[in-house]
Structure 1
Amino acid sequence: MAVSAPTSAPTTAERIRSACVRADGAMLAVAGGDPTPTPVHHLLDDGSFVVAAPDDGAPGTVLSAIACAGAAGVPAVLEMTDYAPLALREPVRALVWIRGRLRQVPAGELPALLDRVASTDPNPALLQVNSDNSGIGPGSGRDVRLAILRLQIESVVVADATGAESVPPAALLTARPDPFCAMESCWLQHLEAAHHDVVDRLAARLPSTLRRGRVRPLGLDRYGVRLRIESADGDHDVRLPFTRPVDDVTALSQAIRVLMGCPFLNGLRARGA
């Protein structure tokens, strides 16, 4: 019986789910309106995204387009940007485009929907939904009131340094975010600032032709470590896979030590211990 090789990288759907969790920049666009930042972009298990848009009554906005369309909603695109947490020459790691139909949430359904989102994603921006926006304006110090909308997914595309790929919405729903995606930014920043020795030992595993530039930590997930090599002839991304996927911090630490070639898989021990 043939034995399948261990998975060495996340699936495209898993990458998108992780990007949804850590995406710092998200924009919502509809035909005839200006793209607007959306601080809320939460995927529900029914195949729709809960998003937020400013409720300021201005013409040419997402909300004004929906108001004109009525119950049918409007075609819309949600763009999410996955930025590296370090000051790289090219900080964008991936772009995700989610197309679908955007509709308002009926007032009677809004409280339950907000509770549903907040139970797993307590985003502070949810506090701006239906809040009093009196006094909003330059220098007012008040947050803009937000309206909650739902985007029913029709297609999903992700693009990164390897190219672009579409993902069926059903695959997106069955995939799960990487268990370390919420902590990845802090870990990479700490690795860059305080552990150049670790980066150097990981870089030693690269082909000699890729060691001529500056090696930076680019990504970390349950499948391995990604490095960015910034050189005179451009940027190159390389994945160093773990021997097997890991699911907790202890296993992650051991897997990184294996990549480094460290004989002490559980850390340094005193003699005789």
Structure 2
Amino acid sequence: MGDSRTGAVANTAAERARSLLATAWSCAVTAEGRRREELTGAHTVTEDGRLLLLASPDGSPTGTTGGSLGRDVPCVVEFADPAPVPMRDRIRARLWLSGRLSAGEAGGLLLRPTRVVLRQGSDMEPVDPDAFTRATPDPLATAEAGLLTHLADCHGDAVERLTRLVDARRLHGAIRVRPLAVDRHALTLRLERLRSHEDVRLLFDRPADDVPRLGERMRVLLARAGTPCPRALHRHRPDGEA
């Protein structure tokens, strides 16, 4: 019998939002209800979840559109979370932070979110701003891209074998399986069909609070699937060294 252990332990919405924010490289800014700035590599995040839009060389926060952003204006900043591994419908989630811009460090602008909304799939989920401030990113968030691309590029056979843990009825019509996401609690696989897809979380036996522990949890998953864990997968590090 397949075992996806669906519906159990997962990160909170606030933790998922903070994880997305911690790894995003670009964002879209709408200020004063009309001006839109596309910022790439131009933001950073404080420990308490405030967003700092960095100043351009001329001292004003600007985006690729060339317009400048002013202080004390209402602002919405949107982030997208693309899957590191190529697949259909690659955007896994979107995050919107709303608030007013104030003066930040080194001429930048600071946004303390007063409204936070996370969308995953078709689900729109408001996140309490205080919970967002208190939350921390998943411990694997910054390593996730390297881990998933290594898994897809070098251990596709192991990914296929992990489908033994999925209920056979959910595999009906699947033509490809890809590693979609990993967090401290689970590895998520995407089952692609000709015109649709389904995501399945494979829960770890215990949380993986760092990359070495993730290797141990993956070894247990593969043992449950009836196959030994490849040594290179168990020892992989995000910098590509095995």
TM-score range (shorter-chain normalised) is: 0.7 to 0.9
- Residue in 2 aligned with 1:142? none
- Residue in 2 aligned with 1:61? 67
- Residue in 2 aligned with 1:165? 125
Matches within 5 A, 1:7-86: 8-30=9-31, 31-45=33-47, 48-52=50-54, 54=56, 55=60, 61-63=67-69, 66=70, 73-86=72-85
> 1:101-125 CA distances to partner (integer Å, 9 max, x unpaired)?
01333xxx53xxxxxxxxxxxxxxx
- Residue in 2 aligned with 1:222? 184
Question: Using a 3 Å threshold, how does the CA distance of structure 1 residues 181 and 60 change in structure 2: closer, same or farther?
Answer: closer
State yes or no: 1:247 paired with 2:209: yes
TM-score normalised to structure 1 length: 0.71
Give the CA deviation at 1:250.
3.0
Q: State the alpha-carbon separation in 2 of the partners of residues 194 and 16 from structure 1.
A: 29
Give the CA deviation at 1:56.
8.5
Q: State the alpha-carbon separation in 2 of the partners of residues 92 and 188 from structure 1.
A: 15
CA contact (8 A) 1:29 1:62 kept: no
Question: Using a 3 Å threshold, how does the CA distance of structure 1 residues 217 and 47 change in structure 2: closer, same or farther?
Answer: closer
- What is the SS of the residue equivalent to 1:35? strand
CA contact (8 A) 1:40 1:52 kept: yes
Runs of 5+ in structure 2 lacking a partner?
1-7, 233-242
Q: State the alpha-carbon separation in 2 of the partners of residues 83 and 244 from structure 1.
A: 27
TM-score normalised to structure 2 length: 0.79
Seq. identity, %: 35
- What is the SS of the residue equivalent to 2:130? helix
- Residue in 2 aligned with 1:137? none
AA in 2 matched with 1:199: V
Give the CA deviation at 1:267.
6.0
Give the CA deviation at 1:20.
1.1
- What is the SS of the residue equivalent to 2:205? coil
Give the CA deviation at 1:45.
4.3
Matches within 5 A, 1:1-273: 8-30=9-31, 31-45=33-47, 48-52=50-54, 54=56, 55=60, 61-63=67-69, 66=70, 73-105=72-104, 110=106, 148-161=108-121, 163-211=123-171, 212-213=173-174, 214-260=176-222, 261=224
Q: State the alpha-carbon separation in 2 of the partners of residues 205 and 56 from structure 1.
A: 49
Give the CA deviation at 1:40.
3.2
- Residue in 2 aligned with 1:121? none
Q: State the alpha-carbon separation in 2 of the partners of residues 56 and 255 from structure 1.
A: 43
Q: State the alpha-carbon separation in 2 of the partners of residues 40 and 57 from structure 1.
A: 9
Q: What count of residue pairs does the alignment treat as equivalent?
A: 217
Give the CA deviation at 1:49.
1.3
> 1:71-123 CA distances to partner (integer Å, 9 max, x unpaired)?
xx100011111110111111101100000001333xxx53xxxxxxxxxxxxx
Q: State the alpha-carbon separation in 2 of the partners of residues 14 and 28 from structure 1.
A: 22
Runs of 5+ in structure 1 lacking a partner?
1-6, 111-146, 269-273
Q: State the alpha-carbon separation in 2 of the partners of residues 236 and 164 from structure 1.
A: 18
Give the CA deviation at 1:228.
0.8
CA contact (8 A) 1:33 1:62 kept: no
Q: Please tell me whether Structure 1 or Structure 2 has the larger radius of gyration of its CA atoms.
A: 1
Question: Using a 3 Å threshold, how does the CA distance of structure 1 residues 60 and 75 change in structure 2: closer, same or farther?
Answer: farther
Question: Using a 3 Å threshold, how does the CA distance of structure 1 residues 97 and 256 change in structure 2: closer, same or farther?
Answer: same
Question: Using a 3 Å threshold, how does the CA distance of structure 1 residues 208 and 75 change in structure 2: closer, same or farther?
Answer: same
AA in 2 matched with 1:188: L
Q: State the alpha-carbon separation in 1 of the partners of residues 62 and 231 from structure 2.
A: 59
Question: Using a 3 Å threshold, how does the CA distance of structure 1 residues 203 and 152 change in structure 2: closer, same or farther?
Answer: same
CA contact (8 A) 2:185 2:207 kept: yes
